[in-house]
């Protein structure tokens, strides 16, 4: 697509539910990144992919968080058994070989 | 992770110049980005330094010194629309962000 697209833009869920956040990167971009951003803070690295391979997942907070990019394009970040502390803006970005990141509009997750 | 330090807030007057400093500690990186982020929006690319020295792009300039572990973003002829957060980003393999500097431009 023309830009990075994320869905849903807003998600409100109850504690204990699973959520899946989707990212559709710019067509042809090799690298895809997931970040989490708290209010007033810079984006915090979660994980990234080159093509379909997950290169680093060291930023994922715990094993309730997982991500996949099975065909090297669309990616899904899944949070199982959500907790209130998971509430944040989740941002996806993709990059070309130059490394410049292009961000989506983000998915605002609220866990009640 | 990387240690990236930048001031939390800066205030300046319309038409003035502001310099945002960024210091970092890292074992290696390809280059350093600066991103702008307006409240409630996604970060957008401003500049990228690979080599030491100054990169100028219109009203914005960015400087890098690898030996000193230091970069700055210079904003000239400030406009009200420049009020935003400015993020220093190391191009290591995972693109590490600083916490951002909130710049407020006053009339």
| Percent over 90 (pLDDT), chain B | 85
Pick from B30, B42, B85: which is nearest to A103 by CB?
Answer: B42
pLDDT tier, B22 (very low <50, low <70, confident <90, very high otherwise): very high
Residue of A25, A29, A32, A42 to mutate, testing the B interface (most B Cβ within 10 Å of its Cβ): A42
Tens digit of pLDDT for each residue in A39-77?
888 999 999 999 999 999 999 999 999 999 999 999 999
Q: Please count the helices (runs of H) and the strands (runs of E) in chain B.
A: 0, 11
Contacts of B102 in chain A (CB under 8 A): 40
Tens digit of pLDDT for each residue in B38-82?
999 999 999 999 999 999 999 999 999 999 999 999 999 999 999
| Contact status, residue A65 vs residue A75, Cβ threshold 8 Å | no
| Contact status, residue B74 vs residue B19, Cβ threshold 8 Å | yes
| Contact status, residue A23 vs residue A75, Cβ threshold 8 Å | yes
**A81: closest CA of chain B, how far (Å):** 27
In whole numbers, what is the pLDDT of chain B averaged over residues? 94
Pick from A40, A41, A45: which is nearest to B94 by CB?
Answer: A45
Helix, strand, or coil (residue B105): strand
Q: Do B100 and A99 touch (CB under 8 A)?
A: no
Minimal Cα distance from A42: which residue of B? B99
pLDDT tier, B98 (very low <50, low <70, confident <90, very high otherwise): very high
| Contact status, residue B69 vs residue B24, Cβ threshold 8 Å | yes
Minimal Cα distance from B100: which residue of A? A42
Residue A46 in tokens? 């979660």
Which B-chain residues 8-47 have CB contacts (< 8 A) with chain A? 30-31, 33, 35, 41-45
**A94: closest CA of chain B, how far (Å):** 11
pLDDT tier, A85 (very low <50, low <70, confident <90, very high otherwise): very high
- Within 8 A by CB and 6+ apart from B88, the residues are B4, B6, B20, B22, B24, B32, B33, B34, B71, B73, B97, B98, B101
Determine the Cα–Cα distance for residues B57 and B59; give it in Å rounded to an integer. Answer: 6
Helix, strand, or coil (residue B28): coil
Q: Does B51 touch chain A (CB under 8 A)?
A: no
pLDDT of residue B2: 61
> Edge-to-edge strands of the sheet including B53-57?
B3-5, B18-25, B70-75, B60-65, B53-57
Determine the Cα–Cα distance for residues A1 and A42; give it in Å rounded to an integer. Answer: 26
**Residue located via tokens 């990234």:** A48
Pick from A42, A45, A104: which is nearest to B100 by CB?
Answer: A42
Q: Tell me the helix, strand and coil percentages in chain A, rounded to 5.
A: 5, 50, 45
| Contact status, residue A43 vs residue B97, Cβ threshold 8 Å | yes
């Amino acid at each position: 697509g023309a830009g990075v697209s994320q869905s849903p833009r807003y998600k409100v869920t109850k504690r204990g539910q699973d959520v899946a956040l989707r990212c559709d990167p710019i067509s042809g971009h090799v690298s895809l990144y997931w970040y989490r951003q708290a209010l007033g803070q810079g984006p915090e690295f979660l994980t990234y992919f080159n093509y379909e391979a997950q290169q680093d997942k060291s930023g994922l907070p715990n094993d309730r968080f997982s991500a996949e990019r099975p065909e090297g394009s669309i990616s899904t970040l899944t949070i199982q058994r959500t907790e209130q502390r998971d509430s944040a803006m989740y941002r996806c970005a993709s990059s070309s070989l130059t490394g410049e990141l292009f961000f989506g509009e983000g998915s605002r997750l609220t866990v009640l | 992770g990387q240690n990236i330090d930048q001031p939390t807030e800066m205030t300046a007057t319309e038409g003035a110049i502001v310099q945002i400093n960024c210091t970092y500690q890292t074992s290696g990186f390809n280059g350093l980005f600066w991103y702008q982020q307006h409240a409630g929006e996604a970060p957008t690319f401003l500049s990228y330094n690979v080599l030491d020295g100054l990169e100028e792009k219109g009203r914005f300039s960015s400087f890098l010194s690898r030996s000193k572990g230091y970069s700055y973003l210079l904003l000239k002829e400030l406009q009200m629309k420049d009020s935003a957060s400015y993020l220093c980003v190391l191009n290591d393999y995972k693109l590490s962000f600083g916490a951002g500097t909130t710049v407020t431009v006053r009339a």
